[in-house]
Amino acid sequence: MEKLLSVCIIAKNSESTIDNCLKSVHNIADEIIFVDTGSTDKTIEIANKFTDKIYNFNWEDDFSTARNYSLNQAKGKYVLILDSDEELSNPYELISTLNNLNDNVGGLLIRVNSYKLNPNNQLEKMSTDLLRVFLNHPEIRFKGRIHEQVFDSIINLGLKIENSNISIHHSGYNLNASDFKTKQERNLKLLKLALEEDPTNLYLLNHLAKTLVALGSIEDAIKIFKIIIERSQDIGTYTIEAMNYLTSLHIQSKKYDEAKKCAEKSLTALPNQVLPYFLLGDIFYYTNKLDLAYQNYKKCLSLLQNKSSTSNIIGQTHIPLEKIHFKIGETLTALAIYDDAIISYENGLSNNPTDVFCLLGIVNVLIKTKRLDLAEAFYTQVKNIHPDNELVNDIGKRFFQKNQPTIQPINSNKGIKHLLSLAMIVKNEEEFLEGCLQSVQGLADEIVIVDTGSTDKTIEIAQKYTKNIYHFKWIDDFAAARNEAIKHCSGDWILYLDADERLKVSNKIAFINFIKEMPKNIGGVNCIIESRHYKLDNETEIHRGGYPRLFRNLGFPKIEFRGRVHEQISPSLLEQGMSFINSDILIEHLGYNQDREVMEQKVKRNYKLLLQHIQEQPTNGYAWYQLGQTLAQMKLNKEAEEAVRFAIDCKNLSKSVMASAAATLSQITGNQKKFEEALHWAEVSLENAPEQIYALHLKAYALLYLNRFSEAESLFREILEKINQKKGMPMSGFDIEIPTDIIIKGLEKAINKNSNI
């Protein structure tokens, strides 16, 4: 069978990054080709955990030579090129894309997201499109001593290069000043060698100028950009890139007239570029022509939102949406249009909830409009998110110094030793909250409550139990709110509950000792969540699941929740090398046993958030699975089935979720009288979770309707035995309680049919 994907990596002394790099691709690569150019650290030892195709290569000051050596070893139909300081962000989407690629496509542009520290010690995102995935063909080889490319060889074969939704996280520029300088000086040396061999190469000249900028040689860089523009016979990619870079440098030097001419020239050469309009916005903002600044920033937004900006080109710089929203907000603030400014900052935060500039933009507006109490409260939240940011600290010194003792950093109670923190997020929970808080009395040393906008007596009730009450603006993201809560937790362990849940512990001393004596490798404890579900057809059923509601506090962001809705803590704990154990800790969940109107509102809310989730992560199988469950609750059965099937096709579900998804398909196809398929999916579910009752009962009924009566009878008897056993942690991670009379009816039918054969 032909291999689909070879991942080719060259590396040297990369022990700090190579593990994450290889983890990001080892599940989807048919082979990993690892070429080492002289490591003296543990790089090769780490690589050995992921691949046996490790080659030693004598470094010759030529990246293309090393890259092409790796290509010579590759056997896959396609090649993905990764550096050792990069991670593939959406691996399963890459496989899906490659499986559906037309034969005339020779390469894919991949969005490479890099991060570097700006002068304010803030991580700044830079995004470029690079040709990193291409057909494995003997004539497709790299050229160039540095900033090597395969572009020309793909075009020479008459093949197309297409855009894609694949992205890579690059950490290679998030370096301290000394390491950053060393890297740039290495690049400068190789660029000069390459230009000695090809002195008129505009691509190399462009990179030389950008490297000089990185090293602070601005005037030398400007001279080279001007040479590129003057030498160009035709206006092409490198000329436009030089114009845009030159515009930016003129702005930095406050040569606004020259910058404006350069930006306009770039747009004349290639209309509808986002970057020159963004730079024009800066020019007009700095020259106090605020109406023109606003128009140009809005033009950027329009081009991005309408997808009418120019097609992606290799090396094209992309401006994060939150940065454009910030600039619009900043301009509106200067125009004293404060309400619209706040809306712009909030739009930026919807794209990146922790963007420090948008957060401080809101603080600035609140100060300017004399809403000082609100400004200080919001500033406290910003301080918690960015405790060491110089911009944040400067705002605090200038505006909140006299009240500084009230502004506490994250985990301000670290001096107090706590065993267990309760973390909650709430909104308008006056009906349920007190019962929840009473259930943890004598167990939780610390209670942390994050309110997302209550207008009832929720805060008043919470104040009876804790002083650790924080406010967080709801941004349609449960994970963001949960993470805000765990940031304030100082206990060694964190238990998270919702207001409509009750911790059921009969022996409090045993519970506390259980946590104290936990082995150090255990990061999460699966608790039994028992819910009585009031369905939209007025029936109820009991769901019982095992979820890690109790977990070790390794500190945010080492541990974090992920997912707008049905958020999960497990992935981040697993990434920290933590293990999980099951327990008999019981949590009673009341939230699904409510009237029809309340349930419909919950379902609609979840539907909205899940749609946002899959738009952000289109191949997240868990999100698609949850969408399928929500669509089923909405009686959209066809759409529910399609969503669950797609979730399975994503091939990234955990075993327990895969078991649930397969059981769902078994139920759906059984209702459609497709009993062979219902049997198949029930068996798939049981393969992933052998001890569950729910899929076993689906299998038994499928066998019954397929006239396999003897097998059905045997299964129904097995189910009755399991039901009579003690109820504890579901072996599948989930289960649905099946009423005994349903199993008895099935058994009676199987016995009667079997006796009549």
Q: In the chain, count H helices and then E strands.
A: 30, 19
pLDDT per residue over 531-564, tens digit each? 876 544 445 567 777 789 999 999 998 999 998 8
Three-state DSSP state, 353: coil
Q: What pLDDT score does 755 carry? A: 64
Q: Indicate whether 726 pLDDT > 60.
A: no
pLDDT classification of 372: cutoffs 50, 70, 90: confident
Give the start-to-end residue ranges of the domains of the chain: 1-173, 322-406, 418-589, 596-755
pLDDT per residue over 165-193, tens digit each? 899 988 766 656 677 788 788 888 888 88
pLDDT per residue over 268-294, tens digit each? 988 888 999 999 999 999 999 999 999
| Average pLDDT over every residue of 71-77 | 96
Q: Indicate whether 106 pLDDT > 90.
A: yes
Q: Indicate whether 363 pLDDT > 60.
A: yes
Q: Indicate whether 232 pLDDT > 70.
A: no
Instruction: Tell me how far the alpha carbon of residue 274 is from its chain's centroid.
Output: 25
- According to DSSP, the residues that pair with 529 across neighbouring strands are 545, 587
Across 60-74, 372-386, 477-491, least confident range: 372-386
| Cα angle 374, 378, 381; round to 5 | 150
The fold of 322-406 is: 1.25.40
- What are the tokens at 520? 């150090």
- The phi and psi torsions of 97 (rounded to 5 degrees) equal -65, -45
Q: What pLDDT score does 423 carry? A: 97
Pairwise CA distance, residues 16 & 248, whole Å:
34
Q: Indicate whether 594 pLDDT > 80.
A: no
Q: What pLDDT score does 174 carry? A: 60
Q: Concatenate the DSSP letters of all residues of 637-697 into one string.
A: HHHHHHHHHHHHHTT---HHHHHHHHHHHHHHHHHTT-HHHHHHHHHHHHHH-TT-SHHHH
pLDDT classification of 404: cutoffs 50, 70, 90: very low
Q: What pLDDT score does 530 carry? A: 83
User: pTM surpassing 0.75?
Assistant: no
Q: Indicate whether 376 pLDDT > 70.
A: yes
Q: What pLDDT score does 544 carry? A: 76
Number of Cα atoms under 13 Å in the Cβ half of residue 411: 19
Shared fold status for 1-173 and 418-589: yes
Q: What pLDDT score does 560 carry? A: 94
CATH class of the 1-173 domain in this structure? alpha beta
pLDDT classification of 741: cutoffs 50, 70, 90: confident
Instruction: Tell me how far the alpha carbon of residue 589 is from its chain's centroid.
Output: 28
Q: Indicate whether 119 pLDDT > 60.
A: no
As a whole number, the mean pLDDT across the chain is 84
Of 83, 74, 29, the C-alpha closest to 55 is 74
Q: Which is more confidently placed, 683 or 385?
A: 683
Interstrand relation of 522-534 and 579-589 (parallel, antiparallel or unpaired): parallel
Q: Indicate whether 505 pLDDT > 50.
A: yes
Pairwise CA distance, residues 209 & 224, whole Å:
6
Q: Indicate whether 585 pLDDT > 80.
A: yes
The DSSP code for 371 is -
Pairwise CA distance, residues 695 & 735, whole Å:
9
| Average pLDDT over every residue of 240-255 | 90
Pairwise CA distance, residues 147 & 145, whole Å:
7
The most confident of the ranges 20-34, 88-102, 218-232, 577-591 is: 20-34
CATH code reported for the domain at 418-589: 3.90.550.10
Instruction: Tell me how far the alpha carbon of residue 427 is from its chain's centroid.
Output: 25
3-state secondary structure labels for all residues of 354-383: CCHHHHHHHHHHHHHCCCHHHHHHHHHHHH
pLDDT classification of 604: cutoffs 50, 70, 90: confident
| Cα angle 588, 590, 593; round to 5 | 135
| Average pLDDT over every residue of 361-369 | 90
The answer to whether the beta carbons of residues 141 and 153 sit under 8 Å apart is yes
- According to DSSP, the residues that pair with 423 across neighbouring strands are 448, 496
Three-state DSSP state, 545: strand
pLDDT classification of 420: cutoffs 50, 70, 90: very high
Could you tell me what percent of the chain has a pLDDT over 90?
Answer: 40
- What are the tokens at 596? 């029809």
Q: Indicate whether 70 pLDDT > 90.
A: yes
Pairwise CA distance, residues 460 & 465, whole Å:
10
Which helix (H) or strand (E) segment is 493 a member of? strand 491-496
Q: What pLDDT score does 134 carry? A: 97
Q: What pLDDT score does 260 carry? A: 96
Across 29-38, 128-137, 237-246, 469-478, least confident range: 237-246
CATH code reported for the domain at 596-755: 1.25.40.10
Across 104-118, 132-146, 448-462, least confident range: 104-118
Q: What pLDDT score does 411 carry? A: 39
Q: Indicate whether 568 pLDDT > 80.
A: yes
pLDDT classification of 414: cutoffs 50, 70, 90: very low
Pairwise CA distance, residues 300 & 584, whole Å:
55
Pairwise CA distance, residues 163 & 616, whole Å:
17
Q: What pLDDT score does 316 carry? A: 59
pLDDT per residue over 635-667, tens digit each? 788 888 888 898 898 888 878 788 888 988 998
Of 111, 114, 61, the C-alpha closest to 85 is 114
Q: What pLDDT score does 236 carry? A: 64
